[in-house]
């Protein structure tokens, strides 16, 4: 009717504004939910890629080191180039273990670097292929398990242990560089 006023003018105004703003709010919420899921998927993909590269590098290093053992068993002497090949394999695996970005905390908390270094060092001293193969299999299985599980933030105690271990390595590196 021409002379009647709206009994709920605020409600009418709200619905008029919502008709214009509501679709934009819906688009914004959809964008936020989608982008969050995409970031999560990207992170998982990159994490798996880093684990894949790490496993590949460790396997390559393992095979190179086992080749050294075969040459020694066949009666060849360990020549400087063979021992250099072993050192190169060890260094390459160490480099790949250290240059992980996304999985760095997981690698440190699992002490994979220490396990690998111990396994290779003991192998180069004794050339015991059986022990080295067992240690490699254990490290490999642990890494595959870590790659498949959903990452969790390490506990406070684990992070403190990692920090202490890193600090110890930094001190050793500093002392070593000062002796040079």
Confidence of residue 128 (pLDDT cuts 50, 70, 90): confident
How many residues make up the chain in this entry?
A: 180
Distance, CA of 133 to chain centre: 23
Instruction: Convert the pLDDT of each residue in 132-174 to its tens digit.
Output: 999 999 999 999 999 998 777 667 787 787 777 777 777 776 7
As given in the structure block, the two tokens for residue 68 are 């050294």
pTM of the model: 0.66
- What CA–CA distances, in Å, run from 172 to 11, 116, 164, 168? 72, 18, 12, 6
Within 13 A of 103's CA, how many CA atoms are on the CB side?
29
């Amino acid at each position: 009717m021409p002379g009647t006023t709206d009994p709920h003018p605020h409600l009418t105004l709200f619905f008029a504004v919502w008709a214009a703003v509501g679709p934009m709010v819906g688009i914004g919420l959809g964008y936020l939910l989608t982008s969050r899921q995409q970031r999560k998927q990207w992170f998982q993909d990159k994490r798996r890629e880093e684990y894949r590269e790490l496993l590949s590098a460790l396997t390559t290093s393992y095979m190179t080191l086992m080749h050294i053992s075969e040459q020694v068993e066949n009666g060849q002497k360990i020549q400087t180039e063979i021992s250099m090949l072993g050192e190169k394999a060890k260094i390459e695996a160490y480099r790949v273990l250290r240059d992980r970005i996304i999985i760095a905390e997981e690698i440190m908390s699992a002490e994979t670097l220490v396990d690998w270094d111990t396994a290779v060092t003991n192998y180069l001293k004794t050339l015991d292929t059986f022990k080295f193969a067992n240690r490699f299999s254990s490290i490999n299985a642990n890494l595959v398990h870590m790659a498949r599980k959903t990452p969790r933030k390490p506990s406070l105690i684990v992070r403190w242990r990692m920090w202490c271990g890193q600090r110890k390595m930094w001190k050793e590196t500093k002392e070593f560089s000062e002796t040079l």
